[in-house]
Amino acid sequence: MIIVAVIGAKALYLLFVWLLSAAIASWVSERKGYGDRVGLAFGLILSAIGLLIVLLLPGRPGSKWKTQGRLPSRRSRGV
C-alpha cells in the first residue's frame, strides 16, 4: 500500500504543475495580446514547456505587456 500512496502523491504534484502552467500561460498570453485561449491551449497540451513557449512569444503592439510592463501595477486602494 505504501507504493500506491507514493505514486499517488507524485501524480498529484504533476497535476498541480500541469494546471498551474496552463493558468499562468493563459494569463501571460492574454497580457501579451494573444488572448487567453492561446496560452491555455499551450499550457494544457504541452504543460510546462507550453508556458516557456508563451513566455518566448513577443508582445503585440498596444498589449498590456508592452504598455504596462511584465507585471501589472499594484494600486493602493483609498480608504
Give the pLDDT confidence score for residue 67 in this predicted structure.
87
Question: pTM, whole model, 2 decimals?
Answer: 0.78
Give the pLDDT confidence score for residue 31 in this predicted structure.
92
DSSP SS3 for 72: coil
Q: What integer best gives the mean pLDDT of the chain?
A: 85
Residues 22 and 44 sit within 8 Å (Cβ to Cβ): yes
Query: Taking 70 as the threshold, does the pLDDT of residue 5 lie above it?
Result: no
For residues 13 and 18, give the distance between their C-alpha atoms in angstroms, rounded to a whole number: 9
Q: Give CA separation, 21 vs 1, 4, 18, in Å.
A: 31, 26, 5
Q: Say which residue the cell 505504501 belongs to.
A: 2
Question: What confidence category does residue 68 fall into, taking pLDDT thresholds of 50, 70 and 90?
Answer: confident
Taking the domains of the chain in order of start, what are their residue ranges?
A: 16-58
